[in-house]
Structure 1
Amino acid sequence: MPQEATWRAPVAEGELDATVRVPGSKSITNRAYVLAAISRGTTLVREPLDSRDARLMLAALDRLGASCQSSPEGVRVGLLTRGDGEEVSVELGNAGTVARFVPPLATLGFRTVRFDGDPAIRRRPLAPLLRALTELGADLDGGGTGAPPFAVRGHGGLRGGAVELDSSASSQFLSALLLSGPAFDTGVTVRLVGRPPSEPHIAMTLDMLRRFGARPQRDGDEFHVPHTELSLSEYTVEPDLSSAAPFVAAALVAGGSVRIEGWPAETTQPGDWLRSLLRELGAEVTLGADGLTVTGTATVRGATLDLHEVGELTPVVAAVLCFADGPSVISGVAHLRGHETDRLAALATELSALGGDVTETEDGLRINPAPLHGGTFHTYDDHRLVMAGAVLGLRVPGVLVENPATVGKTYPGFVEDWHRLLPTAS
């Protein structure tokens, strides 16, 4: 991964013909690590993502007494230990999954666990989860601000029970309670207030709980996970379909074909929505035994898209729509203002700075076709914006993507793989 301040995104000099293998899913990897840490015995997590967010999760679990051992087969994770009253610190970085999934685990031992991270994590929504944990019996110190730094004083377990939760800012609030629910004394029942984004991530959490031996139940907006002893000897992580987004988008924007190896026939990942989206925007999409193949002609149709359930795809999709043959609207993604950065403001600012006609709406973006030109594309320490900048550079010479190393949050080898995608790039 280059460490220079900017990266000149390569231009596609002709039609693409490439095969790509993207790394493991961050969402699945970190959920698997959490579930393994409350499971009896050890769990071998095969083909996990190795990135900053994943390493921060393993480091957090290590601080809570779980054994985490890497090998050529994967990462073997053992049960959390209870501790003996010591005080430990957990580094969050800017990892939403660590900030949200680990505090419930911290209630299970006899430690005081202090949480803090990058300045950006202090701006990300967390208050509804901390409030729900307190109502379930957790002892929190400094959580009144609803943001790091704060501490969880563990007393050897959490009572659990029923709680109302506003998960409209992030489905991770709900997933955090459900993932640890099997280890709570009485399990957990969560009644949602407000509509959470990214239903696929909720389905992912429920599916993984079942695979580890839990018995989650759902009745509309009410979720219940009973106290259960979990156990699973091994779990294999799927490729990260959201990280595949810029590669399959490249076939549409530049023309030619790109195949993503290992694309699952069935999955709960939000990125699987790309199959229908790319068809709507004008690509030919085929899923076969050898993966997903996307073929495009460098022509992009304008579209009106509700991305509420797949908001993490918005940066790449917005970049693609800058090349569309007509106006486009993205809606349903107001929650992106609380991601790694305010993604809606960042996209409107940076796309417009390169000549685009992009404006914010209450819950999304309005994109009108306009000639683009080169310049610096600022990324605000957001990995998905690096990917959006790469897509722009396919057809716009001179796009300088700021701080490309920030993509290491989920895809440390992205820049190298992007160059391999374009063997004739300038």
Structure 2
Amino acid sequence: MAAAQGCPVVSLGVPAFFFIAAMAQCAVVVLVHGQSQEGFISIDCGIAAGTSYVEADNNITYESDMDYIDTGVNHMILSPSDWPKRYHTLRSFPEGIRNCYKLRPVSSDKKYLVRAGFHYGNYDDKNSTPVFDLYIGVNLWRTLGKDPFIEEIITVVPTDYDSLFVCLVNTGQGTPFISVLELRPIPDSMYLLANKSQSLVLTENRRYYGAIPILRYPRDPYDRIWFNSGVSGVYSLNTTENVKIGTLMDEFQVPSSVLSTAIRTYNTSYHLPLSIKVVNARAGDTIYVLMHFAELELLMSNETRQMNIYQGEGDGSGRLLFANYTPPYLEADARVANATLQGGEDATYNLSIYASASSTRPPMINALESYMFRPMAVLVTHHGERILSPPNRREAQQSPI
């Protein structure tokens, strides 16, 4: 499917809200009316109590936050015309150090994707974006200080809980605020490294290599947001065939519409460089990278696509992660890499995909996700007591960068 005429070219490194604003203008998402939103919590923070509406760009029903929090002040941003409706308002928290949304109903021991959106929009006419902390329960999720921005975490609800708390904490650098808060249930069989001991924090936009600037619900039933990654100097691949997903080995359930497009180099002499920026990282954090593949070209009997995937470069300075990898034809597959960050606040994780010596076809990739592990070391009981969570029993193999 081609992008609508006049839609902007999407590139990584630009805050996600600019893409969302572009979507409101381009109207390139095909909506499937009537698809279930069961279990979704979609909150437009700051709209009038008791109101709700269906958002034009994603067909999702958003409601006011009156049932989830009883503190804070509602505001309109100053120039909302270019933004989807859910970013026209926000709730700020000028009083108190810690203000928390109580998201419910949720199910104990179940896995959820939680997404928070922030668009300052100079609502207070101070022209100064505040810096504050975002928590999931009592665990630090991320320090915020950019405008606009989306934060996302995959987490498991503690045992015996029927609520999930998202908290904004004042650190003395401006008044915390929030524009949008979303919760989506996902199966326990997905993202197995998200468990009671640790959550997965999305490091940057999910990338896919298709024609639509943004792909999300209903094309992705779990409402993950996939951003078109504009890459120069590569050849685009696509298929009208359905890419098979949902096999026993597929814990990521990437939609067929994401995997039906890809990029490759023009020939085997060139490689695909992949660079992932990690903002507000702490030395010792672990990055978890998911590379998604599906072969889209029907190769002849004398053709092969074999790839060597490196951490760093494939010129001898990098570390070989996967040798002679061949993606399956029209079937979802993934390769996972991880490393311990040593760069402190901001770090870059580099991968390179090369054609192997015996490959007749150039390297390719369909989509990419990257996360940081966030230990859920402390939980809160119903009585406000703090307890230590059990140790993580599944350790990812690590290498420093």
State the structure with bigger RCO (CA 8 A, min sep 6), 1 or 2.
1
In proportion to residue count, which structure has more strand? 2
TM-score range, shorter chain: under 0.3
What is the TM-score with the length of structure 1 in the denominator? 0.27
* More helix, by proportion: 1
When normalised by structure 2's length, the TM-score is 0.28
